[in-house]
Structures are given as C-alpha cells and as structure tokens.
Copies of this chain bind each other. A is one copy, B any other.
Amino acid sequence: MGATTAVELPPEIRDDPCALRRLIRSGGYTGRTGALAMGYVQANLVILPVADAEDFLRYCQRNPKPCPLLAVTEPGDPHLPQLAADLDLRSDLPSYRLWRDGELVDTVGDIARWWRDDLVGFALGCSYSFEEALITGGLHLRHIERGMGPARYTSSIATVPAGKFAGPMVVTMRPFQPADAIRAIQITSRFPSVHGAPVHIGMPHLIGIDDLAAQCESPYLPIEDDELPLFWACGVTPQAALQAARPAFCITHTPAHMLVTDIKNASLAVF
C-alpha cells in the first residue's frame, strides 16, 4: 500500500492485472499503467449518459479502427465481466477525467460519487496491445526504446458521424524499413479489436500531413531516410469527437492511466 510509482510495485502486483486493479481500487496506486500487467489488454474508458451513449455506440460501430469497442456495460452497471470478473469501473482506473459541456472540470482517482443509474461505460482497445505484438514479432519501436509515445497527428480522414459525434481521425505514426513495414501490417492485421492494420502508409500528404515534424502533436522522433511512415488509427479520435460534441456529462480515463483487464493481448489475435 502507498506505492506511488510503477517501479516500486512488487512483481506479484505489477504482473497480475487483478491484484493491480485491487491496489488501484484501494487508492494505493495512481500512476501510469503502461509498463504494468504486461501481456494483458489495457483499455481506454468512456462513460456517458444513456442518451449520448446510444450515439456513441453507433459512432464506434461505424468507426471500428479508431474506436475498437472491446466491451460496453449495461446502463448503470459499472462492471464488465467480459474483461474481468473482479472489475469496477468506478474505482479500478488510477485516474479519471470529469467533463461537463465538453470542458475538463476535474481529475479524480475514483468516480463512485459521480456514478449514476443512467451511465454507460465503454472500454476501447488501445495500441499498447498491438505494440506488444510488434515487439514480440521482432520489430523495433524506437519511441518505446526512448521512453516516448508514438508520433500523433490529426489527419484529413473524416470519421463517419453518428448523432453528435464526428470529426477527423487522429492517427499515430511509427516508422519502419520497408520489409519491416510489410511485417508490421501483417502483425497488426491480426488485431482488429485494438486498431488493427494501418490506415495509411508512405504518403502522408495524402492524409493531410505535409510536414511530419511540424504537424506532430506529440514529441517527435525524426524518421530515417530508409524508413516509411505507417499510420494507425488512434484512440484519441473518440476523445476528440467527445470534446467537439460537448456532451453535458462525460467521464474518461486520464491519458496513460488505463483500464487494466484480465484478457491477454495474444487472445485478441484473429488468426
């Protein structure tokens, strides 16, 4: 108890998604989840009142690459037994963001006091899962080796609207030498529930990105002369659509503070 950084967590908690959730639930860990419970699916969280949730569900269905829906709750039920038996969306993430009318109003460690009978929770797949598959497949991800996130861009690709939700697809870019690029497409194609195959390769100006460095919305690592940029749909897409839609009430995870599930990344492979 009282551990505050990932490196201080004992292995029996760090490597066990259920033990980790219980520690988080008790308030004993409020940090990032990226290096924890390796091998297990981590998910983005969106919580909306049922009326907006109906639109958002259709938005996810129509845009499966940026919004790969792993599981959705019954209205008012904070559990997701599809992802873990012992899981409570009100307490099991290390940090939550509260939004009112599209504005961030608070960042909290527990949402029990804001939970309502009309709230619906969405767990969306995240790139951690396919990045693990890429690394397991022998590919190098330079941004991870440097302790950074991937390069992120707002592309000119429009998502398919649903109700109040719409907007451009946000993408992440990872550079690879050509043969590795082909391998990266093969590997991520196996994981449609965590963004799947890239949406673009090699000609960023065709998706509205004329300058990889200048337009990057995250810390940028230069691409090498013998590398092609590959672009994957990013889970920031629905976050941006939410902010633009300005729902009266919404809860999300805090970036990098994810829902840790009991599902193995490898179990998501479709072939």
Query: Interface size bucket, A side?
Result: 10 to 19
Which residues of the partner chain B approach A201 to less than 8 Å between Cβ atoms? 178, 181-182, 201-202, 228
Which residues of the partner chain B approach A198 to less than 8 Å between Cβ atoms? 182
Do A203 and B185 have beta carbons less than 8 Å apart? no
Q: Mark A162-201, 1 if CB is under 8 A from B, else 0.
A: 0000000000000001110110011001000000011111
Q: Which residue of A178, A199, A201 has the most chain B CB atoms within 10 A of its CB atom? A: A178
Docked complex Cα distance between A119 and B223 (Å): 52
Docked complex Cα distance between A226 and B179 (Å): 21
Looking at the complex, which one of B199, B206, B228 makes contact with A203 (CB distance below 8 Å)?
A: B228
Q: Mark A258-271, 1 if CB is under 8 A from B, else 0.
A: 00000000000001
Which residues of the partner chain B approach A181 to less than 8 Å between Cβ atoms? 201-202
When A202-B228, A203-B226, A228-B202 are in contact, do A186 and B197 touch as well, CB less than 8 Å?
Answer: yes
| Closest residue on chain B to residue A203 by CB atoms | B178
Q: Which residue of A181, A200, A226 has the most chain B CB atoms within 10 A of its CB atom? A: A181
Which residues of the partner chain B approach A206 to less than 8 Å between Cβ atoms? 177-178, 226
| Closest residue on chain B to residue A205 by CB atoms | B226
Which residues of the partner chain B approach A228 to less than 8 Å between Cβ atoms? 201-203
Which residues of the partner chain B approach A177 to less than 8 Å between Cβ atoms? 206
Which residues of the partner chain B approach A178 to less than 8 Å between Cβ atoms? 200-203, 206
Docked complex Cα distance between A262 and B201 (Å): 37
Q: Which residue of A186, A202, A206, A228 has the most chain B CB atoms within 10 A of its CB atom? A: A202
**For residues 25 through 59 of chain A, which have their beta carbon under 8 Å from a beta carbon of chain B?**
none
Do A182 and B179 have beta carbons less than 8 Å apart? no
Docked complex Cα distance between A178 and B185 (Å): 12
**How many Å from the CB of A108 to the closest CB on chain B?**
40
Docked complex Cα distance between A226 and B202 (Å): 10
Docked complex Cα distance between A181 and B182 (Å): 10
| Closest residue on chain B to residue A184 by CB atoms | B185
List chain A positions with a Cβ less than 8 A from chain B: 177-179, 181-182, 185-186, 189, 197-203, 206, 226, 228, 271
Top 8 closest A-B pairs, CB basis? A271-B271, A202-B202, A185-B185, A178-B201, A202-B228, A178-B200, A186-B189, A178-B203
